[in-house]
Amino acid sequence: MITQMKKYTFLVFHREYETFLEQLREVGVVHVTEKAAGMAEDAHLQELLAKADNARKLIAQGAPDQLLQEKAALESRIAATQKEVNKMAIWGDFSAERIAQLKEAGYTLRYFTCPKKLFQEEWGIVVAEQGATVYFVQVNNADDAPEGCQEQYLNEKSAADLQKDVEGLNGLLVAQNARIELWAKENIPALETELKQLQEQIDWKRVTLNTDSEADGSLKVLEGFCPIDQVAALDAMLQKQEVYYQAEDPTAEDNTPIKLRNNKFTQLFESLTGMYGWPNYGEFDPTPILAPFFLLFFAMCMGDCGYGILLIIIGLLIAKKKLNIAMFEGLGPIITVLGVGTTVVGFFLGTFMGIDLYNAEWVPQALKNMMIKGNVMGYDIQMVLAICIGVFHICLAMVVKAICYTKQFGFKENIATWGWLLLIVGGLIVAILGLTVLPENVFKWALIAVGAVSALAIYIFNTPGRNPLINIGAGLWDTYNMATGILGDVLSYIRLYALGLAGGMLGAAFNNLGLMVMGGTTEGATWQWLPFVLILVLGHVLNLAMSALGAFVHPLRLSFVEYFKNAGYEGKGTLYQPFKK
């Protein structure tokens, strides 16, 4: 839900303005309206912003660019030298000095590789054989390379000498990492403090730039917004300071910020809404609907209750700071909730760590009866379920759009929207009733009524007051867009079935691969248990990671594209950010 706001206009004598701003920042509940045209050109603000960006960059990196570049250069040298070590190792250990002495004495060494089947002994001295390749040396041969051979140009140092270089470079890298760690220990706390101070200066500068001057600069005018539940604290401060102000409800023309107010479960998914864009003040908050559907979609895409249990464990460990993964910091609660959903849905889909529970002999029949298995008109029931969920999701989006658009713009401007809602949602309801309880004649007339009323709304009265012929043309174009769009949107929900099926099949493949190592049973020799366990652990970890990635991206797409498009959600609002310390 979106918290109701009050719009405030403050009128302050210029000599008291700085004191007023200090008090306003102490209360910390007013989002100041940004309207100054010269903010981007203000040199002082841009300087503060640049300093803040630099501080954030240094905190994120943990060191200045120079130290990091020196580290990267060392790592590059280590990688290149190690590559030379691997290249030279096959030629054996030799003395660079001795080779130089041979060269001075008139003996030239040339190095070649060639396929083993082509090599002839008179070509040179074989140094090594690797697979189907022969490595050999020629002495004092100035002719062209033997046919089918490739000449190799070796490093002046042997593999042993190069390995010593690698060890020396690794020592320098350890020292460089110590320098970076020391720098971070000495500077990061100060940078964090500096960043807070810079942010306060930036906020102060923004407020002053958004302040208007009246009466030759003797009066300062400032506009802002305060959540309705914080109005009492703000009014108390204003009355104490004897500041003139006006409080009113925001209008549609105001760029009113939004503050979301949701329960603990829905709050976990607010960041997903923010990824698309925050709602406008007059719009609806999509998070209460996005949250349960994203959880359901994620669980269906994962489709494995064993993976759900693993997600619960991982989420709890992250939440309790027992498992520190930078990219998942603060996400422990939502990972845990997604794990719970996956565990429940995965059970009903009948999969545990790639094992088909429905066909497992050790699973009680009472539990199997609870699982969603079987066919509907020749199609897998899970695929049909995914399509049905998609139809319901899109219908819900259309209902939300009709209600919210009517609230924002009035019924007259949204007759066509209601017409499409009646045609699609009403038609589905009548069809379902006709297949179950309605008599044939009642079903026929109900269907005709729904079609007739919908047609009038879509083709004749879609824009009242406009030429009917133009309305018909607009309705036909709208029909083309709806017919092609709705069908594609519904089919998109098949991915809920396909991803869950793919994850389960891949998990089963790893299980079968492990059993193959054991000889097809769980009674293999002792030595067989190690590869068996390794295959299962590595395989399921890989499958869990891939499934989780797909289960995050695709439900997000269904929410952002299919649902938001049909719900008419724009997401161009401004998030409430109060002026405070």
| pLDDT of res. 336 | 94
Contacting residues for 440 by C-beta, under 8 A, at least 6 apart = 434
* pLDDT for the residue 55: 87
pLDDT band at 526 (very low <50, low <70, confident <90, very high): low
Task: Find the distance separating the first CA and the last CA of the chain, reported in whole Å.
Answer: 26
Q: What is the pLDDT of residues 102-120, one digit of tens each?
A: 878 877 888 899 998 888 8
**Tens-place pLDDT, residues 175-211:** 999 999 999 888 889 988 888 888 888 888 888 888 8
SS3 150: strand
pTM for the predicted model, two decimal places = 0.76
Q: What are phi and psi of 62, to 5 degrees?
A: 85, 0
User: Is pLDDT at 324 greater than 90 in this prediction?
Assistant: no
Residue 425 confidence class, pLDDT cut points 50, 70, 90: confident
Supply the pLDDT for residue 37: 59
- Contact status, residue 262 vs residue 287, Cβ threshold 8 Å: yes
What's the pLDDT band for 520 if we cut at 50, 70, 90? low
- Only one residue has tokens 């109701």, namely 4
Per-residue pLDDT of 106-156, as tens digits, reads 778 888 999 988 888 888 889 888 888 999 998 876 667 788 888 888 887
Q: Which pLDDT score is estimated for 298? A: 95
Question: Any idea what DSSP says for residue 34?
Answer: P
Tell me the pLDDT band of 220, cut-offs 50, 70 and 90.
confident
Summarize pLDDT for 456-496 with one digit per residue, the tens: 877 777 777 777 787 778 778 877 777 777 888 888 999 99
Question: pLDDT per residue over 544-573, tens digit each?
Answer: 999 999 999 999 999 998 999 888 888 888
Q: Within 10 A of 173 (CB to CB), how many other CB atoms are there?
A: 16
pLDDT beyond 60 at 92: yes
Q: Where are the beta strands (DSSP E) in 249-374?
A: 351-352, 355-356
CATH fold label, 1-33+218-259: Alpha-Beta Plaits (3.30.70)
pLDDT of residue 553: 93
Instruction: Return the domain boundaries, the chain.
Output: 1-33+218-259, 36-81+169-209, 92-153, 264-379+493-567, 383-489
pLDDT for the residue numbered 211: 83
Please, which pLDDT band fits residue 379 given cuts at 50, 70 and 90? confident
